[in-house]
Amino acid sequence: MSDKTTQKSALVVSAHSADFVWRAGGAIALHGERGYQMHIVCLSFGERGESAKLWRKGEMTEEKVKAVRREEATAAAEILGATIEFFDLGDYPLRCDKETLFRLADVYRRVQPHFVLTHSLQDPYNYDHPQATHLAQEARIIAQAEGYRPGEKIVGAPPVYCFEPHQPEQCNWKPDVLLDITAVWQKKYRAIQCMQGQEHLWEYYTRVALQRGVQAQRNIGITADKKITHGEDYQSIFPRVTEDLS
């Protein structure tokens, strides 16, 4: 582990407790293995909207569902090599006040992320996901402001990457980053298997990873030495600043 002052870090803002696993588990594992401090904020447990299998068991309460979801997400984060915290804001609907924005801004200040992962800007199937994106972006901007808690170290301008929504064609999804997660796919799949309440998605997200892997390979050339089998795709919000276009 590298020194705290030089260690790189990243922040993942997830609307519900499993979203980060399906959509960004590869990126989290990959950077975790490279020594990044990966920190996840789950704004809610997805207790109402994304825990259908648990509710169907009967004799469930919201508290019980939340406890299971917390356990699953904590286990997944551990496999991926990340720390995790839960804001417990409730879902369907996910709403937040000023205090929550400040709470998230304080996480930015503490983590000092080198990049941020969150949801897509649009998702007509799920209002909580874009809500999480707006919250992540607004808190980032507050954390950049010199006038917010003056004297504290402000955050720089970490790039924000949106992760793939569940039904991308309906979300105006146009990825501009394909991430090779071949080396960590097994780790991601182990994290996926922590999500016992959403077993119907395991196979689905395996197919997504394979599909994105094929596309990643095509975009570096099918004859390239590097062989990519699994991928994740992202859409960046801000332009990437570089001195090298190759």
Point out which residues bind Zn ion (CB under 5 A).
15-16, 19
Distance of closest approach, residue 132 Cβ to Zn ion, in angstroms: 8
- C-beta closer to Zn ion: residue 165 or 213: 165
C-alpha–C-alpha distance, residues 130 and 165, integer Å: 10
Distance of closest approach, residue 138 Cβ to Zn ion, in angstroms: 19
Distance of closest approach, residue 29 Cβ to Zn ion, in angstroms: 20
- C-beta closer to Zn ion: residue 94 or 155: 94
Is residue 232 a contact partner of residue 163, using CB atoms and an 8 Å limit? yes
- C-beta closer to Zn ion: residue 16 or 212: 16
Distance of closest approach, residue 119 Cβ to Zn ion, in angstroms: 8
Mapping DSSP onto H, E and C, the string for the chain reads CCCCCCCCEEEEEECCCCHHHHHHHHHHHHHHHCCCEEEEEECCCCCCCCCHHHHHCCCCCHHHHHHHHHHHHHHHHHHHCEEEEECCCCCCCCCCCHHHHHHHHHHHHHHCCCEEEECCCCCCCCCHHHHHHHHHHHHHHHHHCCCCCCCCCCCCCCCEEEECCCCHHHHCCCCCEEEECHHHHHHHHHHHCCCHHHCHHHHHHHHHHHHHHHHHHHHHCCCCCCCCCCEEEEEECCCCCCCCCC
- C-beta closer to Zn ion: residue 69 or 109: 69
- C-beta closer to Zn ion: residue 19 or 180: 19
C-alpha–C-alpha distance, residues 187 and 30, integer Å: 9
Distance of closest approach, residue 45 Cβ to Zn ion, in angstroms: 10
- Select the residue whose beta carbon is closest to Zn ion and give its number: 16
Distance of closest approach, residue 62 Cβ to Zn ion, in angstroms: 17
- C-beta closer to Zn ion: residue 2 or 196: 196
Distance of closest approach, residue 100 Cβ to Zn ion, in angstroms: 17
Is residue 148 a contact partner of residue 198, using CB atoms and an 8 Å limit? no
- C-beta closer to Zn ion: residue 7 or 170: 170
